[in-house]
Structure 1
């Protein structure tokens, strides 16, 4: 029978081992992000087949290639507040269903216009899924492992994109380009069934929204039966949050607005760099005199280092996350500038491109964990989603940046010097965030208990 004990949720998570139940939450969220990466990248792998089958010029593919980016931005911006209001689980299941069904619809497309519409809808679902998977995972983590586990989950995205490339290379010759989109639709629908059955609602969301003691206890009992006699559950939240405030109000409130703006600027600038280089490096290297095959291979080194986010997560769990990621962006800027100075030596160029990519992808992949730790439960889904949504416009800007620089006839070295500048801006933004909102590290369980008691 329940006693009269009050349990603090975060103290409970901090003092119990990471259970098989929490690993299940991790696996489900990782699968969501993995399929997100697969479906986001799928259009790039099937684009050459579209040119051949439909006889369209390459420039005509631009709307199809960018449609999902606009959908990603819209999905993140609009569904974050919905998740803070109606729950992480419901929005996650709905978003996975949307991008699964839209991917199946894409496989039935008869022309570019139809495919563009379905890719936009796919982007809406993908944009909604990513921030809510990050938020839900974050809210089941102990403080000491939060950034490591969140970053590890986020690594599903580049792995999904890479898996898409390998599968597409095997499937398209056998069954055609539509088979890739069919797989990208069927897998999310199967996952949605698993989410309905096995994914719990965020425990912090449940407490924040005053779900019944029995509902909260039932979830926590799957982590440890030490809560079987709990009569009530509470959780600590940062100051400056009023009961009943909506997610959007919290994110732009006086207590959080500067930090929100700095997170948006950093993530935006990171995607300016990523899309500027991922889309244009092969062409820039070719124009600089490197043969096309070598240019492509060197460019492929850039996105390989995203798994380094796990290492950054480990550092963020032990040191100041703002400083860790700011240093990552600062070093990114230095090495991107160095690419422009290394065109004469292929071996050196390869090494610098790989290091620059590792730093860039690691810093960028660590941003959702930083945002999730910054906001309180009531505004966490909105905060993470809006950062990702605003950042997508950085990806769009990055795609056009190098085209404009080339039109102005900047040299190879000058282009990379300009592309390095967003890395400096991103680092400065996180330094400003640290000074305005100093990150407080919690050391030791005694300190945790003392903090949660207030």
Structure 2
């Protein structure tokens, strides 16, 4: 038998059309995830007003959305490690799109909450599956950069949801956001079918003798000769078929590493959920800033999201991730304090808002990229999905806190000052994770590189 190392083959490939198409299509999936994740928070007061409810009534929808996203991350994401990333991503896009479109015709806030929860089950799985596909298609030397570029789509989706709040809300109502959020994932289905092949690393771990792998290698490199007795392996020690199990992320020396990562993701995504869902409302109710006015400023601030995502990818291809990521979260702590105490009308506020988005999005992108590096391909979607699921559990608490802060007439300084403790804690956890890895208490993927 002739052993062909899939990792070595991919790492030796030049960046060309196949890799770029995977990046573009999966980046569109990330865009949709970012748009949908953040749009509700930006238009929450308008939705509440449309149904004749006070702003704090949206807390129930936010809580159920986060619960549903946790369910999707824990249940749907692992299916991608069982039946394939591409196929499961197409199914998720289809169901998510249909439920989102159905939300346009909701007659009550309760109906919208139910449909939003159903859509969120499948939305939560989109990002982990897309990142798994991208990380496994890119050479190791550019993996962090590719993941970062795809997450620019996530940040762009965030910005696009701000554009809806700023320019479409008055003329077309809150339903305009759901039209966009429902149609876009349906467009992704044919794109995934024609331009995004199943992961070669996933296929090789599932079946080292799969003849389709050889055909896929020839499409990537027409000069590459595939022997008839070829066995496709990952690394020097591969060669046995290994199906993913849910327990894989806790076994073989990964338990402590996974536990620390889950804690970091839980707290980081709690912070993101809180600000994405409640920040416009906080400024409207606590500082008297109209939602449309804040949306315009936030749209400018989202330029920082793109820069932060790209920079963390560049840095993680060159330096230790567990040293770069804490710097972002310590800076985010300072940005929270700045937003709390600097007047919205002050010229420096927009710079703080840009820095806030730069650090928050860059930090979370760093955590996601780190997960794609340290777990083997057969469990990568599960690792991403379950870490995200842990984060969604924390996100359930964020809407409760946001609604309580508004109902109790908390000041903006108190509300954001408490929230600032979240990124500071994440920074400490990632430093602990780095210590765990460097002392040999964690088993990393063979292609993990420097973390």
| TMscore range, shorter length | 0.7 to 0.9
- Segment of structure 1 superposing worse, 187-196 or 413-422: 413-422
For residues 54 and 248 of structure 1, do their structure 2 counterparts lie closer, same or farther at Cα, with a shift above 3 Å needed?
same
Residue 168 of structure 1, CA deviation? 6.4
Indicate the RMSD between aligned Cα atoms, in angstroms. 3.5
- Residue of structure 1 equivalent to 2:443: none
Does structure 2 conserve the Cα–Cα contact (< 8 Å) formed by 1:9 and 1:233? no
Q: Quick one: distance in 1 between partners of 2:126 and 2:203? A: 19
Matches within 5 A, 1:132-143: 132-143=129-140
Cα distance in 1 for residues equivalent to 2:249 and 2:403:
34
User: Cα distance, 1:119 vs. partner?
Assistant: 0.8
SS in 1 for 2:4: strand
**Aligned with 1:99 (options 79, 96, 100):** 96
Per-residue deviation, 1:44: 4.4
State how far apart, in whole Å, the 1-side matches of 2:321 and 2:152 are.
Answer: 18
Give, in angstroms, the shift of residue 158 of structure 1: 2.3
| Residues 300-334 of structure 1: CA deviation (Å, up to 9, x unaligned) | 66554221211110110111112111221122223
Unaligned runs of 5+ in 1: 441-448
Show the counterpart of 1:225.
222
Normalising by the residue count of structure 1, what TM-score does the alignment of the two structures yield?
Answer: 0.85
Instruction: Name the residue aligned to 1:305.
Output: 304
Query: How far apart in 2 are the matches of 1:451 and 1:49?
Result: 45
CA distance in structure 2 between the partners assigned to 1:450 and 1:53 by the alignment: 51
The match for 1:260 is 258
Supply the distance in 1 between the matched residues of 2:16 and 2:429 (Cα, whole angstroms): 37
Partner of 1:374: 374
Q: 1:446 corresponds to which residue? A: none
Equivalent residue, structure 2, for 1:388: 388
Report whether the alignment pairs 1:337 with 2:357. no
Contact map agreement 2:45 2:281 (CA 8 A) in 1: no
Contact 1:278–1:299 (Cα < 8 Å) also in 2: no
Displacement of 1:209 after TM fit?
A: 0.4
- Number of aligned residues: 441
Q: Tell me by how many angstroms 1:352 deviates.
A: 2.9
**1:282 deviation in Å?**
5.0
Secondary structure of 2:327's partner? helix
Give CA-to-partner distance per residue, 1:192-224, whole Å, 9 cap, x none.
122223321111000000154420012222221
Higher mean alpha-carbon deviation, 148-157 vs 431-440, is at 431-440
Residues 1:304 and 1:237: Cα distance change in structure 2 (over 3 Å): same
Cα distance, 1:279 vs. partner?
4.5
Aligned counterparts of 1:165 and 1:298: Cα–Cα separation in 2:
9
Q: TM-score w.r.t. structure 2 length? A: 0.85
- Higher mean alpha-carbon deviation, 148-157 vs 179-188, is at 179-188
The structure 2 residue matched to 1:33, chosen from 30, 34, 46, is 30
Aligned 1:286-365 pairs, distance under 5 A: 292=290, 303-307=302-306, 308-340=308-340, 342=342, 346-365=346-365
In the alignment, the residues of structure 2 paired with residue 211 and residue 245 of structure 1 have an alpha-carbon distance, to the nearest angstrom, of 11
The answer for the alignment partner of 1:58 in structure 2 is 55
Report the Cα distance in structure 2 between the residues aligned to 1:175 and 1:347, rounded to whole angstroms: 31
Distance in 1 separating the partners of 2:418 and 2:38: 27
Partner of 2:123: 126
Question: Which residue matches 1:203?
Answer: 200
Please identify, of 76-85 and 40-49, the stretch whose mean Cα deviation from structure 2 is larger. 40-49
Quote the Cα distance in structure 1 between the aligned partners of 2:191 and 2:237: 37
Using a 3 Å threshold, how does the CA distance of structure 1 residues 232 and 23 change in structure 2: closer, same or farther?
A: same
